[in-house]
Amino acid sequence: MEVTLLDYGAGNVQSVFNAIRTLGFKVRYVQGPEDIAKAECIVFPGVGAFGPCVDALQSKGFFAPLQQYLKEDRPFFGICLGMQTLFEGSAESPGVAGLGVLPGTVERFPETSLAVPNINWSGVAPMLADPWPLEKAQPRCYFVHSYRVPMTTAPWALACSEYGEKFVCAVRQGNCVATQFHPEKSGTVGLRILETWLKGRAPGEAAPAEAFCPEPPARRIIACLDVRANDAGDLVVTKGDQYDVREKEGSVRNHGKPVSLAERYYQDGADEVSFLNITAFRDMVLEDQPMLEVLRSAAEKVFVPLTVGGGIRSYVDEKGRSYSALDVADAYFRAGADKISIGSDAVEVAKAYYAAGKKGDGGSSIELISTKYGRQAVVVSVDPRRVYVADPKSCAHNCVEVGLTDKATPVGPNGERFAWYCCTVKGGREDSDLDVVQLAQAAEALGAGELLLNCINRDGQGNGYELELVQQVKSACTLPVIASSGAGCPEHFQQALAVGADAALAAGIFHRQEVPIQEVKSYLSKTEIPVRNLNA
Ligand code: 1PR
């Protein structure tokens, strides 16, 4: 069977393509409206915002043929926004009509203390006695979304999940199946769902299941690969101490090849893998073909979310050609990234936001990329350095009291008990006058979907995360926060998650094989922090 992939420019198209091809099926892209009418089966991977997605379907001439295809009850699998567009509309884009195959509108998660977007591996509980193509005891899958289909027991509601409240996370009506979660990024569990659907069978009757209690969202454990060229010009995974990645004698530390390590971490149960191209701030990223090749190869083998950062900004090449940050992000998404992460440029963008009286101009990297690919695809990577302060009242920045949550945190060189976190750029080489709270709030206002919270003081030290920093940022914004820098043992992950981090990332201890990912997860399970079970 040949699968027709509806590519309207969404960020996860490459990931869906890779997943289907890995399962042994042929895939072709929709080139024009006539391909929809001819398709044997259609997969519609959607991410981003509802309105721009419908606009893209309309302007490419796909909307009416797709409606007709669905009316004829031919095989269809929608993913994420590909599920939401089946409804009549969405609160995300009032007045924009969806495909209208299913009744009702998609709503935003209500304002609660929960971080939005919901970026989690969450339980999926079938609501129908015959849950095809899901499993009766369906393990957790990967979700990333800010809008959801309100809970209902309508006969098309196939499964529900929970994030503060229950919501519908999979639908089935005749031969039309769709999921809010991303099967292409849900590891072997997700591949199994896609394979079951691709092999096809007539769905059973829509008799309700007995009970549906989804497992709670799992906290994510992320493996990070700092990548750069060594002195011989080969791309290697490196790892610094407080951002210094060179051995004493001067060579760049080498922990191995990026693709093999990414694959190893996927097999070991990492819930996400991040690549940071750490010297990209001085390169012309679009000419960095080896890095794009790394991403392409990794995306063919790693079926959990891949984030890539480094050099996402506008620049002018040697021939005087201009490239926007969106051009760079486009190349990363086409190579298989699911999210991009912006470091140095986010600081510049935030500075401009405050200079303009807390307004964006629509043309910044954060705004351009989140408008096209959706907020959930934009991570802001923060590289803060601790600056000690004797008296927070005499400091213009947002301060914390150090040593409150982590007794090992040293007080300042002159006995200072307070600090603010200065956002640096170019891999910690330059300071800015922006503190982390200012950066987090500007990033949230401009459309970022998540924060990667590093800490230069902690990086590579193995003495735990900077807990004060995590607490401060969590209380200043509603974005999901990934704690990073300083993990040395499983207990450190627990501490970061206990003070509110939504996910915890580590590099050195995984590269040096000091602590396996599964050991971290076993420890967290024992402390009743839910984690994704690899063997589910
Ligand atoms: O500024 O948009 O070009 O992005 C550059 C990216 O590269 C940023 O995300 C920045 O954090 C990262 N980066 C730049 N220089 C370095 C360096 O190490 N010299 N790495 C660097 C940042 C921090 C984490 C590290 C954690 C966990 N490294 O990536 O993996 O601290 O480490 P640990 O568990 O071993 O403590 P732009």
Residues facing residue 28 across a β-bridge: 4
C-alpha–C-alpha distance, residues 203 and 208, integer Å: 14
Instruction: Compute the radius of gyration of the chain from its Cα atoms.
Output: 23
DSSP 453: E
Collapsing DSSP to helix, strand or coil, 215 comes out as coil
The CB of 312 under 6 Å from ligand 1? The reply is yes
Collapsing DSSP to helix, strand or coil, 130 comes out as coil
DSSP 358: S
CATH node for 2-199: 3.40.50.880
ipTM rounded to 2 decimals: 0.98
C-alpha–C-alpha distance, residues 262 and 270, integer Å: 9
Q: Which residues are catalytic?
A: 80, 182, 184, 226, 383
- For residues 335 and 296, the answer to whether their CB atoms sit within 8 Å is yes
Q: What is the DSSP string of 369-419?
A: HHHHH-GGGEEEEE-EEEEEES-GGG-SS-EEETTSS-TTSPPPTT---EE
C-alpha–C-alpha distance, residues 43 and 4, integer Å: 6
Q: Two tokens at 141?
A: 């899958």
Which numbered atom of ligand 1 lies nearest the CA of 426? 1
pLDDT for res 249: 87
DSSP 464: -
CA distances in angstroms from 225 to 237, 240, 294, 325, listed in the order given: 6, 11, 12, 22
The CB of 274 under 6 Å from ligand 1? The reply is no
CA distances in angstroms from 443 to 146, 312, 496, listed in the order given: 16, 15, 22
Place of tokens 């070991």: 268
List, in sequence order, every beta strand (DSSP E) within 13-52.
26-29, 41-46
CA of 477 to the centre of ligand 1 (A): 22
Pocket test for ligand 1, best of 221, 230, 345, 381 (most atoms within 8 A of CB): 381
CB-based contacts of 311, cutoff 8 Å, min separation 6: 277, 280, 281, 283, 285, 288, 328
Which numbered atom of ligand 1 lies nearest the CA of 225? 30
- For residues 195 and 201, the answer to whether their CB atoms sit within 8 Å is no
C-alpha–C-alpha distance, residues 212 and 129, integer Å: 10
The CB of 507 under 6 Å from ligand 1? The reply is yes
The CB of 381 under 6 Å from ligand 1? The reply is yes
The CB of 465 under 6 Å from ligand 1? The reply is no
CA of 226 to the centre of ligand 1 (A): 6
Residue 141: name the closest of 123, 164, 159 by CA. 123
pLDDT for res 520: 98
Asked whether the domain spanning 220-526 has the same topology as the one spanning 2-199, the reply is no
Q: Two tokens at 446?
A: 């401009």
Residues facing residue 322 across a β-bridge: 316
The CB of 258 under 6 Å from ligand 1? The reply is no
CA of 308 to the centre of ligand 1 (A): 11
Name the residue with the closest Cα to ligand 1, atom 10: 427
Where do the structural domains in the chain lie, given as residue ranges? 2-199, 220-526
Name the residue with the closest Cα to ligand 1, atom 27: 485
Q: Two tokens at 54?
A: 């419908």
Query: Which one of 3.40.50.2300, 1.50.10.20, 3.20.20.70, 3.20.20.140 gives the CATH number of domain 220-526?
Result: 3.20.20.70
| 536 residues of the chain, pLDDT tens digit each | 899 999 887 777 899 999 999 999 999 999 899 999 999 999 999 888 899 899 999 999 999 999 999 999 999 999 999 999 999 999 999 999 999 999 999 999 998 888 999 999 999 999 999 999 999 999 999 999 999 999 999 999 999 999 999 999 999 999 999 999 999 999 999 999 999 999 988 777 778 888 888 999 999 999 999 999 888 888 999 999 999 999 888 899 999 999 999 999 999 999 999 999 998 877 777 777 788 999 999 999 999 999 999 999 999 888 899 999 999 999 999 999 999 999 999 999 999 999 999 999 999 999 999 988 889 999 999 999 999 999 999 999 999 998 766 665 568 888 899 999 999 999 999 999 999 999 999 999 999 999 999 999 999 999 999 999 999 999 999 999 999 999 999 999 999 999 999 999 999 999 999 999 999 999 999 999 999 987 66
C-alpha–C-alpha distance, residues 251 and 431, integer Å: 25
Q: How many Å separate Cα 340 from the centre of its chain?
A: 8
- Dihedral angle sign, alpha carbons of residues 404, 407, 412, 414: positive
pLDDT for res 106: 98
C-alpha–C-alpha distance, residues 483 and 529, integer Å: 15
